[in-house]
């Protein structure tokens, strides 16, 4: 008689995937991750938003519970997210609960009892629980009985100060390894550059964990960056006219998110859009909790709501049909940009990521870094990250390639995605090496000859030889660089300066946002480094490129 073929844990997981979740098969790296976790080993999973990270712990939780290994503890930073997930699990017939500050003592006790009685498959908790002695006691009891099967650390980048969502409470999670060394851990995040990744592994003591990285490409998102001139008019044009992959134009009746840099701008922009007859709602941390909850709820439930928000909005929002994300101000770094734009098109249908940015944004972001109370080393990293974002915004080649390379993903040389502004409408590029040298030597003159520093506006006036009260009072007409850049327009000068900042040749300092020479200046002044600048950012309609097969 032949022995019955042994069923691997992954096979039984696949069967449960169909029975419990109703999905035909695993997606992407899910099978590999789940197989690894079912082996009882640690892992860090990096997958873009919408790739299906939750399943990587939900399914092992079910399998391990059925094997009598106890429950899976999911650490999640957001209460709303826990509610949603517990609701979704219960609908699938999986026993799940959460412990957080919204529960009273009685409800808490009931859930603890369920956990101890082995009735729960998934227990969601906020990171701050890990300083709660009572909760730690519960975990120790479960651990001693061999009833802790897995720790899943969601949004794991929150542990890193280099990431954009640092949460102090996450630091405590290093104790998981010390206290419960035999319980496997699975950390998950949708965002991590190489720097954050290393930091995350170290802080969570996951150096020996296997790292799973799936492609961060979101092929259905079309990226576009325009030069900020009249942002409101530009945004309206985008909203009404932007060409879409599906042949329709504009996003007039679509759900979308508009990110602004400040609460006040959120309020102003939302009010203005409402005046334009658009169903816009504001969202930021300055609104009271009830208003925030109500606006979020309407965004999720009603069609065609435009949420105008600060970055306080978005994490854990699972709305599949967000058709566009617009940035009216520059995000802090590429991770932020990627995360925020990643909220568009989770259903896989075509979506637009549109951003308007200008020199003032760069200056503003620099200033925020400079004036923050953080220590210098931290600020230095923030500046580097901002520079990487500027390089993306100023780039004349494929944006997607830039984005993917930033996250450590290689692309074939010369690859073009055909779904970003630069691929669809290659920008005119001009050689601005000479003007760049003019600007740098003018700043050099200010610094060396007069020991003065000025902002971009004044610099451009001097370069173009435009007399103002300020040029007269400083007698800048006498400088050898006076008027040497007459042939370059104001707009072009701004583009040159942005590019120089992106290259690190110029730095923006202090309260008055003055310009000074940066490390990259020398190579340009010596003519060792060419400066190429885009000729205006394509404001025209993006043509759809012919797809060649």
Q: Which residues bind Zn ion (CB under 5 A)?
A: 398, 400, 417, 420, 423
Q: Tell me how far, at minimum, the Cβ of 20 lies from ligand ADP, in Å.
A: 12
Q: Which is nearer to Zn ion, 389 or 398 (CB)?
A: 398
From the list ligand ADP, Zn ion, none, partner contacted by residue 400 (C-beta under 5 to 8 A by kind): Zn ion
122-125 β-sheet, strand order: 96-99, 122-125, 71-75, 148-153, 185-189, 43-46, 210-213
CA 441 from chain center: how many Å? 37
From the list Zn ion, ligand ADP, none, partner contacted by residue 49 (C-beta under 5 to 8 A by kind): ligand ADP
Q: Tell me how far, at minimum, the Cβ of 466 lies from Zn ion, in Å.
A: 38
Q: Tokens for 492, please give them.
A: 């072009």
Q: Tell me how far, at minimum, the Cβ of 419 lies from Zn ion, in Å.
A: 6
Q: Which is nearer to ligand ADP, 57 or 238 (CB)?
A: 57
Residue in 350, 359, 330, 353 with CA at minimum distance from that of residue 341: 353
* Helix H or strand E segment including 437: helix 433-450
First to last CA, the chain: 54
Q: Which is nearer to Zn ion, 224 or 251 (CB)?
A: 224
- Residue 378 CB contacts under 8 Å (≥ 6 apart), including other chains: 161
Q: Are 325 and 256 in contact (CB under 8 A)?
A: yes
> Other C-beta atoms within 10 Å of 182: how many?
8
From the list Zn ion, ligand ADP, none, partner contacted by residue 55 (C-beta under 5 to 8 A by kind): ligand ADP
Q: Tell me how far, at minimum, the Cβ of 190 lies from ligand ADP, in Å.
A: 6
From the list Zn ion, ligand ADP, none, partner contacted by residue 504 (C-beta under 5 to 8 A by kind): none
From the list Zn ion, ligand ADP, none, partner contacted by residue 77 (C-beta under 5 to 8 A by kind): none
Q: Tell me how far, at minimum, the Cβ of 494 lies from ligand ADP, in Å.
A: 38
CA contacts within 13 A on the Cβ side of 1? 2
Q: Which is nearer to ligand ADP, 23 or 135 (CB)?
A: 23
Q: Which is nearer to ligand ADP, 34 or 225 (CB)?
A: 34
Q: Tell me how far, at minimum, the Cβ of 367 lies from ligand ADP, in Å.
A: 33
From the list Zn ion, ligand ADP, none, partner contacted by residue 398 (C-beta under 5 to 8 A by kind): Zn ion
Q: Tell me how far, at minimum, the Cβ of 177 lies from ligand ADP, in Å.
A: 23
Q: Which is nearer to Zn ion, 270 or 417 (CB)?
A: 417
Q: Tokens for 27, please give them.
A: 């997606």
Alpha helices for 92-230 (secondary structure H): 105-116, 133-144, 175-179, 194-203
Q: Which residues bind ligand ADP (CB under 6 A)?
A: 23, 26-27, 30, 47, 49-55, 190, 318
| 3-state SS, residue 146 | coil
Q: Tell me how far, at minimum, the Cβ of 322 lies from ligand ADP, in Å.
A: 13
Q: Tell me how far, at minimum, the Cβ of 53 lies from ligand ADP, in Å.
A: 3
From the list Zn ion, ligand ADP, none, partner contacted by residue 415 (C-beta under 5 to 8 A by kind): none
Q: Which residue is nearest to ligand ADP (CB)?
A: 52
Q: Which is nearer to Zn ion, 95 or 420 (CB)?
A: 420
Residue in 265, 226, 230, 219 with CA at minimum distance from that of residue 242: 226
Q: Which is nearer to ligand ADP, 152 or 363 (CB)?
A: 152
From the list Zn ion, ligand ADP, none, partner contacted by residue 420 (C-beta under 5 to 8 A by kind): Zn ion
Q: Which is nearer to Zn ion, 299 or 407 (CB)?
A: 407
From the list ligand ADP, Zn ion, none, partner contacted by residue 417 (C-beta under 5 to 8 A by kind): Zn ion
Alpha helices for 191-287 (secondary structure H): 194-203, 231-241, 263-275
Q: Are 158 and 170 in contact (CB under 8 A)?
A: yes
Q: Are 121 and 167 in contact (CB under 8 A)?
A: no
Residue in 180, 178, 75, 69 with CA at minimum distance from that of residue 125: 75
Q: Tell me how far, at minimum, the Cβ of 225 lies from Zn ion, in Å.
A: 12
Burial pattern 342-364, b for ≥16 Cβ within 10 A else e, equals bbbbbeeebbbbbbbbbbebbbb
| 3-state SS, residue 378 | helix
Q: How much of the chain is in helix, strand and coil states, percent to nearest 5?
A: 45, 15, 40
Q: Tell me how far, at minimum, the Cβ of 342 lies from ligand ADP, in Å.
A: 9
Q: Which is nearer to Zn ion, 189 or 422 (CB)?
A: 422
> Other C-beta atoms within 10 Å of 293: how many?
12
Q: Can you tell me the distance from the alpha carbon of 424 to that of 80, in angstroms, rounded to the nearest whole number?
A: 39
DSSP class of residue 314 equals: -
Q: Which is nearer to Zn ion, 356 or 420 (CB)?
A: 420
């Amino acid at each position: 008689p032949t022995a019955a073929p042994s069923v691997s844990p992954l096979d039984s997981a696949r069967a449960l995937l169909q029975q419990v979740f109703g999905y035909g098969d695993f997606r992407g790296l899910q099978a590999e991750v789940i197989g690894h976790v079912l082996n009882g080993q640690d892992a860090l999973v990096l997958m873009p938003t919408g790739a299906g990270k939750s399943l990587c712990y939900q399914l092992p939780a079910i399998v391990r519970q059925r094997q009598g290994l106890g429950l899976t503890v999911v650490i999640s930073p957001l209460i709303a997210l826990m509610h949603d997930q517990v609701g979704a699990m219960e609908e699938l017939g999986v026993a799940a609960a959460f412990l957080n500050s919204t529960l009273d003592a009685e409800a808490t006790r009931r859930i603890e009892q369920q956990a101890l009685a082995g009735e729960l498959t998934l227990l969601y908790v906020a990171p701050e629980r890990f300083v709660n002695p009572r909760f730690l006691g519960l975990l120790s009891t479960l651990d001693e009985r061999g009833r802790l099967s897995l720790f899943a650390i969601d949004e794991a980048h929150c542990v890193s100060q280099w990431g954009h969502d640092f949460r102090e409470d996450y630091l405590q999670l290093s104790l998981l390894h010390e206290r419960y060394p035999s319980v496997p851990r699975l950390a998950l995040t949708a965002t991590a550059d190489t720097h954050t990744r290393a930091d995350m592994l170290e802080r969570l003591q996951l150096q020996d964990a296997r790292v799973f990285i799936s492609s961060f490409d979101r092929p259905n998102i079309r990226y576009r960056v325009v030069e900020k001139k009249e942002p409101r008019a530009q945004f309206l044009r985008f909203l009404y006219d932007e060409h879409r992959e599906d042949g329709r134009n504009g996003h007039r009746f679509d759900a979308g998110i508009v990110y602004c840099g400040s609460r006040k701008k959120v309020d102003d922009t939302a009010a203005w859009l409402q005046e334009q007859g658009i169903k816009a709602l504001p969202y930021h941390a300055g609104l009271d909790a009830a208003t925030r909850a109500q606006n979020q709820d309407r965004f999720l439930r009603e069609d065609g709501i435009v949420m105008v928000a600060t970055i306080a909005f978005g994490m854990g929002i699972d709305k599949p049909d967000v058709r566009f994300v617009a940035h009216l101000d520059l995000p802090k770094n590429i991770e932020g940009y990627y995360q925020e734009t990643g909220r568009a098109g989770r259903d896989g249908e075509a979506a637009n990521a549109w951003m308007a940015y200008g020199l003032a944004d760069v200056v503003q972001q620099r200033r925020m870094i400079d004036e923050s109370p953080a220590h210098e080393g931290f600020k230095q990293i923030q500046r580097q990250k901002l520079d990487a974002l500027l390089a993306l915004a100023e780039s004349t080649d494929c944006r997607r390639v830039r984005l993917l390379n930033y996250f450590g993903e290689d692309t074939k040389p010369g690859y073009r995605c055909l779904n970003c502004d630069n691929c669809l409408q290659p920008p005119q590029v001009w050689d601005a090496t000479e003007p760049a040298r003019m600007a740098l030597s003018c700043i050099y003159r200010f610094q060396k000859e007069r020991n003065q520093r000025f902002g971009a506006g004044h610099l451009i006036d001097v370069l173009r030889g435009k007399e103002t009260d300020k040029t007269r009072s400083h007698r800048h007409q006498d400088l050898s660089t006076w008027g040497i850049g007459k042939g370059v327009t104001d707009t072009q000068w701004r583009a040159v300066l942005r590019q120089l900042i992106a290259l690190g040749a110029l730095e923006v300092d202090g309260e008055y946002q003055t310009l000074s020479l940066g490390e990259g200046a020398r190579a340009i002044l010596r003519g060792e480094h060419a400066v190429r600048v885009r000729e205006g950012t394509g404001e025209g309609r993006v043509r759809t490129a012919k797809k060649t097969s």
